[in-house]
């Protein structure tokens, strides 16, 4: 149900105060409680589910497939797909979610993590479904993907698969994997996945984990891509269907800092979750 003009103006007013006042009394950087679990889909290489307090729910499964490449290309092969229940396929929202995550992953994932031989690579498929959402689903999807990737394991080569003395093993050898799943390697042994954070701007204030109403009265939204302890990417997004969404350029520096702090906290929280 859309907000009435009075409601909208009241909410906007209280959010733009300094210090602001959120309807549920939260701090600017405070998340609502989430319920997260990893390793819920046994047939995937890694998986996770996160449920939000407002009923939003997302499940992500990560699959690793062996592909052949020609030449010794350094491309990172990642494909991200996400269904959002209630929104038709190929909607702008879906494209935003998939392309943001895919780009973030491709830019941050070192190619040698997925290299098997000169000819063989792992390709990572991230498949998500957002079962329900009230607020902007990107943070939810990113967090779930982050957790699923933490949970992801890649099969290890069998000990005798590629003999040491084979001069041309990288040219012709076909990899053989150990049949023991316990023998697999964590994808995130030496790498942390990127985390995308969605924030809204109201006046001079920045908020994370905005509720639907908060987003509706905001002046605009901002996405930051957090990787290895710093923000590596930025994107401005609309938060409602209005061409009037404008915010001051001066706010961006502050906003990035706020979202970075939020990302750091979230990353800490997600890393504490037990993975399989």
Partner 1 sequence: MASVKRAYNEDLSKRLTLSQKIFVRSRKGKATKIVQEHYLRTDIPCSSQLCPTCALNPPKDSSGTSRPFVLSSDPPSVKSWGPHYLVPDTNIYMKAMDLLEHFAAFYDVIVLQTALDELRNLSLPLYNRLRALTRSQEKRFYVFHNEFRQETFVQRLEGETINDQNDRAIRNACVWYSVHLQEAVAGTGRSAPTILLLSEDKDNIRKSKELGIACATLETYVKELPQADTLLDMIVVEGDEDASGPNRYSYAEYYSTSRIQGGVKEGLLHQGILNINQYNFLEGSVPVAGFERPLLILGRESINRAMHGDVVVIEVLPREQWKQPSTKIVEEETVSKNDNPEDDAQENVVTAQERRVLIEAARQAQHSSAEFRVQPTAKVVGIVKRNWRSYVGHIDASSVPADAANARRQSSVFLIPMNKCIPKIRLRTRQAINLLGKRVLAAVDSWEPTSRYPEGHFVRTLGDIESKDAETEALLLEYDVQYHQFTQTVLDCLPKEGHNWRVPADSSDPLWKGRQDLRELLVCSIDPPGCQDIDDALHARVLPNGNFEVGVHIADVSHFVKPDTAMDNEAASRGTTVYLVDKRIDMLPVLLGTDLCSLKPYVERFAFSAIWEMTPEAEIVNTSFTKSVIRSKEAFSYEQAQLRIDDKSINDDLTQGMRILLKLSKILKQKRMDAGALNLASPEVKVQTESETSDPMEVGVKQLYETNSLVEEFMLLANISVAAKIYDSFPQSAMLRRHAPPPATNFEVLADQLRVCKAMTLRCDSSRALADSLDECVDPDEPYLNTLIRIMATRCMLAAEYFCSGTMTYSEFSHYGLASPIYTHWTSPIRRYADVVAHRQLAAAITYETLHPSLRDKPKLQRICQNINQRHRNAQFAGRASIEYYVGQALKSREIDAEGYVMKVFSNGFIVFVPQFGVEGPIHLRDIGNPEPPCNFDEERYTLIFHKDTDKETRLQMFDRVVVRVETVVEESTGKRKVALRLRKPLV
Q: Give the residues lining the site for partner 1 (CB under 8 A).
A: 42-45, 64-66, 68, 120, 155, 158, 160-163, 166-169, 171-184
Minimum CB distance to partner 1 smaller for 123 or for 264:
123
Minimum CB distance to partner 1 smaller for 120 or for 191:
120
Give me the least distance between CB of 121 and partner 1, in Å please: 11
Minimum CB distance to partner 1 smaller for 75 or for 180:
180
Distance between CA atoms of residues 191 and 200, nearest Å: 29
Give me the least distance between CB of 156 and partner 1, in Å please: 9
Give me the least distance between CB of 67 and partner 1, in Å please: 9
| Pairing of the two strands 120-132 and 78-84 | parallel
Minimum CB distance to partner 1 smaller for 139 or for 275:
275
Distance between CA atoms of residues 117 and 113, nearest Å: 11
The pair of structure tokens assigned to 170 is 């990288």
Minimum CB distance to partner 1 smaller for 168 or for 241:
168
The pair of structure tokens assigned to 14 is 């209280």
Q: What is the arrangement of strands in the sheet containing 205-208, beginning at the earlier edge strand?
A: 205-208, 195-202, 220-227, 230-237
Nearest partner of 176 among 153, 158, 154, judged by Cα:
158
- Per the CB < 8 A criterion, the answer to whether 181 and 233 are in contact is no
Return the C-alpha torsion angle 78, 79, 84, 85, nearest 10.
-120
Q: Specify the 3-state DSSP secondary structure of 206.
A: strand
Give me the least distance between CB of 267 and partner 1, in Å please: 27
Give me the least distance between CB of 189 and partner 1, in Å please: 17
Distance between CA atoms of residues 225 and 195, nearest Å: 6
The pair of structure tokens assigned to 263 is 């990302």
Minimum CB distance to partner 1 smaller for 175 or for 269:
175
Minimum CB distance to partner 1 smaller for 152 or for 197:
152
Distance between CA atoms of residues 50 and 62, nearest Å: 15
Give me the least distance between CB of 100 and partner 1, in Å please: 28
Give me the least distance between CB of 186 and partner 1, in Å please: 15
Q: Specify the 3-state DSSP secondary structure of 103.
A: helix
The pair of structure tokens assigned to 92 is 């702008």
């Amino acid at each position: 149900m859309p907000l009435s003009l009075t409601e909208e103006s009241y909410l906007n007013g209280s959010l733009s105060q300094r210090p602001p006042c959120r309807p549920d009394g939260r701090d600017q950087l405070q998340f609502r409680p989430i319920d997260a679990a990893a390793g819920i889909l046994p047939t995937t290489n890694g998986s996770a589910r996160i449920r939000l307090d407002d009923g939003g729910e997302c499940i992500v499964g990560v699959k690793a497939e062996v592909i052949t490449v020609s030449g010794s290309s350094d491309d990172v092969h990642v494909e991200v797909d996400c269904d959002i229940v209630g929104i038709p396929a190929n909607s702008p929202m879906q494209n935003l979610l998939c392309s943001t995550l895919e780009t973030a992953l491709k830019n941050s994932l070192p190619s040698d993590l997925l290299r098997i031989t000169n000819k063989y690579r792992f390709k990572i498929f991230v498949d998500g479904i957002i079962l329900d959402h009230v607020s902007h689903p990107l943070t939810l999807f990113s967090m779930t993907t982050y957790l699923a990737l933490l949970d992801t394991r890649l099969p290890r080569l069998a000990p005798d698969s590629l003999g040491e003395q084979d001069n041309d093993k990288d040219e012709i050898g076909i990899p053989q994997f150990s049949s023991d799943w316990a023998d697999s390697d964590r994808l995130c042994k030496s790498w942390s996945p990127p985390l995308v954070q969605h924030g809204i701007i109201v006046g001079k204030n920045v908020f994370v984990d905005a509720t639907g109403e908060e987003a509706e009265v905001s002046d605009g939204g901002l996405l930051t891509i957090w990787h290895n302890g710093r923000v590596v990417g930025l994107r401005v997004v609309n938060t409602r269907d209005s061409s009037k969404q404008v915010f001051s350029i001066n706010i961006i520096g502050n906003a990035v800092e706020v979202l970075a702090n939020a990302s750091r906290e979230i990353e800490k929280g997600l890393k504490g979750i037990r993975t399989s």
